[in-house]
A and B are shown apart, each in its own frame.
Chain A
């Protein structure tokens, strides 16, 4: 309907437009088209240049330390000893913890929002609230984590440690800054991503499939767990992988909450460090040699996130079939 209105608004100018292009028009056309092509190429080159520049800066360090840097845990600036294994461990561990928590909540919310639990208006309000969670800058989450979340967690964590200290997950005492607080905030931050993409996947499940299940006499949850979720599983796994990608690259909330100590521990309460936090904290004061090592760490992070993100995009594009009606 709207398109027709717009058409009317253009028609009055038709007489002035209907003329063969002049030389100026042709030159302008040529320039404009070339310009768009140039910027398209520039997009490709920008990504290549990012990888090339960071890789180039990291090359001396890669040559000097080799792959040993990735598995070593020493970080001694004075003796030029560097190792980023604790950071790699911390990045993966915190992201996986966040993925478990954020994934559970994200998928539950996606189900809640798509399977007619709520009247349409409330659905939209809740959807907006979840989306606004993603809009809050990570540095604000960091501040909130330090002064609100950690004091709330402290008593519970102390109790868990004193009663279940033998269990590896609770084996160190809770100092506030550490894996658990960081992973919790991280899960809040990736929840909107997972919820949004899972919702798309769940909405793409054809209405017929769902109705067929109900026709067989299933309860609501039998239909959801045995028919709808398996049908949408491709899109949901894509959502989880992209959520993981976000968690891996997240910097500020982690730099502020994770405690920044190069320890490798299974304990949830132990302070740890991540690749992104290492970069954030050490770059400003780095000398030339250290810059190389940090670029090496940046390369590692870049590689991990690129692989995870490409995987996620691939899963979504191969499994999501469009045209499903609700």
Chain B
């Protein structure tokens, strides 16, 4: 009897011991985690430093105003047509997708959130957001390039639109859903028709969130290369919407393995311009997002 009681009382030492194996293991794992986190930041800084180091020297007025050089032109030249091309095609895509996405989102969030169509449409949008970007290019090739008989900025815009739609639609749906219910009820109480409550109450309130989604989608589309490779291709001349059109992303790809040092430098400079553009758009969307959350 006495013995068992003593056994029970012999508890292990419960105080924290900094050098027991399990404490050491914990410290070791924490160290590995910190190293991993630091390592993961290395690529970002490496990319940024290289862009500034190799592309920064070409930032000048000429870069933004001149046309690309030929392979035999050893200095000079710019990327003006690629910048305009990117803006033009992203613009077309935005013009198609903003009304499309926002109107569909209104239906999904408000007018028939539990209907069958809504469920299927939500599922379609989610599936489309996981679509490989090159598939969007193949699709635009099949419907635009084959039927129109040639590469054009329009085809590029359509390809980008396919990629932008799911982002815009899904973020718009989320923000419209977040508009407080009593706002809508107040509008109905005033005798508003559903569409009046949408256009006069819900949409103005959800606008910042919708803009965040649009800006993010635009930032993503501006950097896409794969969908433009065989829809807009590339051109060394100024913008002609019905002809092949240059874009920053495709310019970087085409010049990345160029033997001409001049074109290679332009590829780095174009990357710098593109990354700065994308980062600014990201910051803007975060800024709008954080302002509305308060």
Contacts and interface: CB of A to CB of B under 8 A. Distances in A.
Interface of A: 2-3, 6-7, 10, 14, 17-21, 25-26, 28-29, 32-33, 35-44, 46-48, 50, 53-54, 57, 104-105, 108-109, 111-112, 117, 126, 129-130, 132-133, 135-144, 146-148, 188, 191, 217, 219-222, 242, 245-246, 248-252, 255-256, 276, 279-280, 283-284, 294-295, 298, 301-302, 305-306, 309-310, 312-313
Given A50-B139, A54-B135, A140 B223 contact: yes
Contact of B138 (A18, A148, A250, A295): A295
A284 B186 contact: no
User: Which of A36, A219, A276, A283 counts the most chain B CB atoms within 10 A?
Assistant: A36
Given A39-B100, A44-B121, A137-B275, A108 B37 contact: yes
Contacts of B256: 139, 142-143, 146, 256
Given A44-B124, A188-B43, A135 B183 contact: no
Contacts of A57: 142
Most buried by B among A41, A111, A283, A312: A283
A147 B131 CA distance: 29
B108 interface: yes
Given A29-B194, A132-B282, A148-B50, A10 B134 contact: no
Interface in B90-149: 99-100, 103-104, 106-108, 111-112, 117-118, 120-121, 124-128, 130-135, 137-139, 141-143
A20 B120 CA distance: 35
Interface stretch (B65-73, B74-82, B226-234, B235-243): B226-234
Interface residues of B, number: 95
A139 B128 contact: no
14 contacts: A25-B193, A37-B117, A39-B100, A54-B138, A105-B40, A112-B34, A130-B41, A132-B44, A132-B282, A136-B44, A142-B253, A283-B230, A295-B142, A313-B126
Q: Is the interface of A mostly helix, strand, loop or mixed?
A: helix
Contact of A10 (B54, B162, B201, B271): B201
B30 A220 contact: yes
Nearest to B189: A18
Contact of A139 (B111, B201, B225): B225
B176 to A, nearest CB: 11
B194 A33 contact: yes
B104 A10 contact: no
